[in-house]
Structures are given as C-alpha cells and as structure tokens.
Amino acid sequence: MDPQVFRDIELDELEGQIRSYRERGWRLANLCGSSVGDKVELLYSFSDGPELENLRMLVDNGQKIPAVSPLYPNAFVFENEARDLYGVVFEGGLIDYGGRFYSPSVPTPMNPASLPAQEYLASARAAAHAEAEGEEEAEGEVSHG
C-alpha cells in the first residue's frame, strides 16, 4: 500500500469521484489550492484510516467548479478559502461568503493571474527597493560624515 496516492482528474470527473469517496465512507480531509503557472491547482484529499488519496485538478481562472460541500459539509471552509485566496468560484455550495471569508487586503492574493495581486506585489517590491536605496544612501553619509 502506498502511503499516499495522487490522481490527476479533469473537471468532468470531479463529481463522480467525490460521490465514490462518499459512498465508500472516506472522509474529506482537505481541499486546497496552489498556483501553477496561470492556472489554479485544486487538491482534494480523502482519508480512510491510514490511507490517503488525493484528486488533483487544474482549473482556469474564472472557471466555475461544482461545490463538494453538499456531500461533505466541512468543505464549505475550504471552498470559501479557495475563493478568497485564488478566485475559484464554487457553484452550489452550502455556505458561500461571496469572497469575504477572510477579507484579504488584496483580492485573490495567491492567484498569479489576479491583477490586484500583481499590482500590490509590484508596489511592494518598488517600496522595498526604495527603502534599500535609502538605507544605502544613509550609510554612505555616515561613513563620509
């Protein structure tokens, strides 16, 4: 037995796979997102005792994903988190905070295609660069003074 299994799936396979885990009595342990190029990877993790299996799927920005919270109510937390951080929109979820679960200062900060996140990152880098230049100037004045 492998300690952990990963299966790459397509969106049209998601609902059937989720139902299969539910029917077999597996527990939804986690649903998380991560940035992969200009897409978002969703990783659904299921456990049955010591066994852990993962469904991995790449989605496009703005693509609507069927919610799993009707079958696994605890998923509402994960779905809202993925919406706030990556901009993934789940349809048919039990509880939808509409992008205000975490209320991040920058919309969808973890999504590489998020224009507000890109602008924030650019301004933060510019501010850090300006601060570093200011410190170098101050050090130069002290050593010559």
pLDDT tens-digit profile of 28-55? 999 999 888 888 999 999 999 889 999 9
3 state DSSP class of 108: coil
Q: Are strands 89-91 and 64-66 parallel, antiparallel or unpaired?
A: parallel
Alpha-carbon gap, residue 120 to 100, rounded angstroms: 19
With a cut of 60, say whether residue 134 has pLDDT above it.
yes
Compute the mean pLDDT over every residue in the chain, rounded to the nearest whole number.
Answer: 84
Six-digit token string for 51 = 């066994």
Asked if residue 90 lies in contact with residue 52, where contact means CB atoms within 8 angstroms, the answer is: no
Region 5-113: CATH code: 3.30.460.80
With a cut of 80, say whether residue 118 has pLDDT above it.
no
With a cut of 80, say whether residue 122 has pLDDT above it.
no
Task: Cite the beta strand spans of the chain per DSSP E.
Answer: 5-8, 27-36, 39-48, 51-59, 64-66, 89-91
